[in-house]
Structure 1
Amino acid sequence: LLIGTGFLRMGPWELTGMEVAKVARQRFLDDVTDSVGQVFLAHALQCARCHDHKFDPVPTRDYYSIQACFATTQLAERDAPFLPSENIGGFAERKYLDARQARYQVQLKEIEAKQETAGRRWAAERGIDFVSRAEGLRKGVAEENLPPQRVGLDTQDLGLERIARKGLERLKWEYERYEPRAVTVYSGRTPEVKAVVAPVRMPAQRMTAGELEVTCILSGGDPFSPRDQVTPGMLSAA
């Protein structure tokens, strides 16, 4: 079972901000389909992706029928402990990330304290009770009774705040280098890809959330040119 699921996960998968999710998904399915043919049928199937095989009895419909077997095969990265045999040397470098994180957090607290002091002064000058903008917006306080959004902050403060927030966001990515992950497959609907900003996770509602893929014959192998729908199956000439 481990070898089988590992085999599925080793297909090509590179989804970046420059890639179209549907194209990346189709590239994975094409690789799985052709690999299944080579491994279990001793026959490459890639030629039938765009047209009926010219020399062997492999019609395009059969190619996509085999591919339909993997329509619910999805990829995910899951949390997993390090194995005793894995090399975790160099992880002491994480302390430098901790220092940067602490520095950014101190900067934000100092800026927030400065902003609160200015906000309290602004409220006192108007004879109203002070309430922060975040709390006031949650409670439905009228805009005229809320301190200005950037009250008390100068351009330097705004620049430091932006650097600190972006730095903390970047650190999330850097910390992941030190977190163990297992690349896995699961069965479920195809999740919607809105942004490539985090590892691919298995949805909590994997059988109900997302698209239930319908496999069709693709004109020229183009995922945006579907034709006849097919059902899961094997070679009709077998």
Structure 2
Amino acid sequence: MRDWEAVVDHLLESPRYGERMAQHWLDVVRYADTSGFANDWERPHAWRYRDYVIRSFNNDKRFDRFVKEQIAGEELAPDDPEGRIATGYLRMGPWEQTGMSVAAVTRQQFLDDVTNSVGETFLAQGLRCASCHDHKFDPVPTRDYYRIQAVFASTQFDEPATPFLDAETREFAERREHLERIRDLGPEQITRLDKENSFERITKKRNAYLESAFERFVPQSFSVKTGGGGKTRILEGGALSSPGGMVEPGALSATGFQVKIPTKAAGRRLALANWIADQRNPLTARVIVNRVWQWHFGSGLVAASNNFGRMGGRP
């Protein structure tokens, strides 16, 4: 028995343990270093969230804290970079960089993804069906789906400001071409350039840009922040083109444990995180225990670890 205890202690104390457990968690939260879709853009600094998960396991972080940080870390502890990094969880779904007329569609895809992910990750409840109609098998009405989505309506991506280079690049190329043409002219054809059009001015502008670009190398997080308090409507049939009645932020009504979530933009995610992590919530503890059991023994007490609903099987 002592030999087994020594082996277990040795494995738990190894930093490799956190890396191994993090692999399982990262699969659950749909972690990826690129954004998917056609362009599959790289996600700069997304790896910081990965390392945050590893540290959390190796430091034996309380699970309730782990939950709260990922949903609302920057609200929970505004001065703690760790909390801001943790909110990268909310951005781990596929994302297509679009704009103009389809920007609203892309935004709705994000809201649908994060709503369903929070339901599956922490509550083992597949909510996506309720985006179109009341869930056919579980007590999740469409109103509940959009009440949870309303929590994230004020959530915006937190990214550093990036200067637009197109205009600068064109100007530099045009003036460089102009100077090349001047070199090919004879002395009698050259007229004096005024200072405003000199190559020196362009070079100085370029150098000023490069100096400002140094900020890109400052450690940054792939995270979210609270923006404007967006309004949420029930989408008939899940279609963005068919908005219905307004809903206020809320949580699952079937749990019997309710929460008051602010209607103002700030504090929505933290209120939901507190509700999920509260010991009175009948789902959260059972879901993570089942996951840990599955990760260590190969099969969970409930086979469908993301679905504790009627179609997910019995323990």
TM-score by length of 2: 0.38
Task: Identify the structure with bigger relative contact order (alpha carbons < 8 Å, sequence gap 6+).
Answer: 1
Structure (1 or 2) with the greater helix fraction: 2
TM-score by length of 1: 0.50
Larger-Rg structure: 1
